[in-house]
């Protein structure tokens, strides 16, 4: 079974901020990475096609496939977990997400679907997005 992760993109105003941050990272590495202190217990499930879903301004808005999870050490010798991502950012429908610390697992059936090619990536408030979907106009 595949499982995903969801994480807040702290300090990002929009998906372009994530793209710019990762473009700077790609100048020195073939893949963008994120470091965290905790190693996911479900790493094998994540590596079976899982993605990280980034929360920006209160909603999941974009995802990236996780291509590797490895143990590394920081400059002070402490163990860290490196999440290695595919460089491609895939826009998703906005899905409201309350603030939380760290990261959480996300079941595939609970993940927002990807925007199809040509679909507009509107950064509307998640509550409005939900209301429009429930009304059948979105």
32 SS3 class: coil
| Residues in CB range of 43: below 8 A, 6 or more apart | 69
**From CA 74, how far away is CA 86, in angstroms rounded?**
22
Q: What distances in angstroms separate CA 28 from CA 24, 32, 101, one per listed residue?
A: 8, 9, 28
pLDDT tens, the chain, 138 aa long: 999 999 999 989 999 999 999 999 899 989 999 999 999 999 999 999 999 999 998 999 999 999 999 999 988 999 999 999 999 999 998 898 988 999 999 999 999 999 987 665 555 666 676 677 667 665
* H-run or E-run covering 22: helix 15-25
Q: Which domain holds residue 104?
A: 4-134
- Total domains in the chain come to 1
End-to-end CA distance of the chain: give it in Å, rounded. Answer: 31
Q: Quick one: how many helices (H) and strands (E) in the chain?
A: 3, 7
- Predicted TM-score (pTM) of the model is 0.85
């Amino acid at each position: 079974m595949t499982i995903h992760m969801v994480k807040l993109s702290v300090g990002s105003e929009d998906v372009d901020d994530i793209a710019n941050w990762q473009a700077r990272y790609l100048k020195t590495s073939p893949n963008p990475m994120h470091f965290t202190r905790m190693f996911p217990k479900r790493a094998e499930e994540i590596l079976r096609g899982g993605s990280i879903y980034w929360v920006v301004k209160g909603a999941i808005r974009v995802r990236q496939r996780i291509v590797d999870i490895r143990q590394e050490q920081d400059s002070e010798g402490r163990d860290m977990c490196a999440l290695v991502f595919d460089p491609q950012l895939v826009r998703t429908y906005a899905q409201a997400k309350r603030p939380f610390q760290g990261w959480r697992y996300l079941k595939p059936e609970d993940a927002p679907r990807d925007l199809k090619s040509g679909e507009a990536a509107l950064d509307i408030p998640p509550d409005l997005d939900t209301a429009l979907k429930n009304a059948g106009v979105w």
